Amino acid sequence: MNKIEYMLGAFGDAHLDFKRKEVQIYQKNLEWLEYLNGLLYDIIGSKGRIFKRDVYVLRKKSKLLFEIIKRTRPDDSLYFVAGFFDSEGSIYASSKSKIPVLDITQSEKGKVLLEKAMLTLNKIGVRCHLNGPYKHYNSKLPAYHLRIYGWENLEKFCKHVQVHHPEKLSRIMSFRVADPKL
């Protein structure tokens, strides 16, 4: 696995402070933050600090990490897509047809990341749709959704994209139980 590209995808849900050389990742799932902290150690040789507020926060200051961020371009990277899905994605059953839907949501600032993920997934035969802009009651910026519909596309996604987030893995496994060919 390319740990740097996965981490860059996971930063889709992070606050990157380039002036202070600090990254902050907010997450409900402590286990996944600990996994990311392990990746940080593998990449730069030191871990960040995890603490609890309303949610868990992983915070790390590192000039080396920001140098790596600046020089790495994860074009066509399935590892980037995996990290991005783990940080911002969800999986659920469609309310009407009960088919699986994978969804990654970003504000207008993250639209470029969604487009990059869509191009990468289209190259491996996963049909995606970029929907939006939508006005969300809780946001100043419009939101966009990258959606993947159906059993066939879920199967292709699972075959090529290695998901590490424990809750998302559990949801995918529940769909696999419903359709054993996945």
CATH of the domain at 49: 3.10.28.10
Task: Read off the tokens for 171.
Answer: 């949801």
Q: What does the pLDDT look like over 71-98, one tens digit per residue?
A: 998 878 999 999 999 999 999 988 888 8
Do 26 and 53 lie in a common domain? yes
Residue 133, preceding bond cis, omega within 30 degrees?
yes
The residues with which 78 forms a beta bridge, in sequence order, are none
Do 107 and 169 lie in a common domain? yes
Q: What does the pLDDT read at residue 81?
A: 96
CA 160 to each of CA 1, 49, 67, 79: distance values in angstroms, whole numbers, following the listed order: 12, 32, 29, 9
- Out of 53, 71, 89, a domain closes at 71
Do 90 and 141 lie in a common domain? yes
- Out of 71, 94, 118, a domain closes at 71
Contact (CB, 8 A) for 128 and 118? yes
Longest dimension (CA), the chain: 49
Structurally, how many domains does the chain consist of? 2
Task: Read off the tokens for 116.
Answer: 């990059």
d(CA 28, CA 7): 17
Half-sphere exposure of 124 (CA within 13 A, CB side): 20
Do 165 and 90 lie in a common domain? yes
Do 57 and 107 lie in a common domain? no
- Out of 39, 71, 103, a domain closes at 71
State CA 107 to chain mean position distance: 14
Do 55 and 92 lie in a common domain? no
| Phi, psi angle pair for 50, to nearest 5° | -110, 130
Do 12 and 52 lie in a common domain? yes
Q: What does the pLDDT read at residue 180?
A: 53
Q: What does the pLDDT read at residue 181?
A: 54
Nearest Cα to 84, choosing from 168, 171, 175? Answer: 168
Q: pLDDT under 70 in the chain at which residues?
A: 1, 178-182
Q: Which residue segment(s) compose the domain that 36 sits in? A: 3-71
Do 102 and 67 lie in a common domain? no
Do 122 and 162 lie in a common domain? yes
For tokens 């054993």, the residue is: 180
Do 90 and 154 lie in a common domain? yes
Do 165 and 96 lie in a common domain? yes
Q: What does the pLDDT read at residue 7?
A: 95
Do 98 and 57 lie in a common domain? no
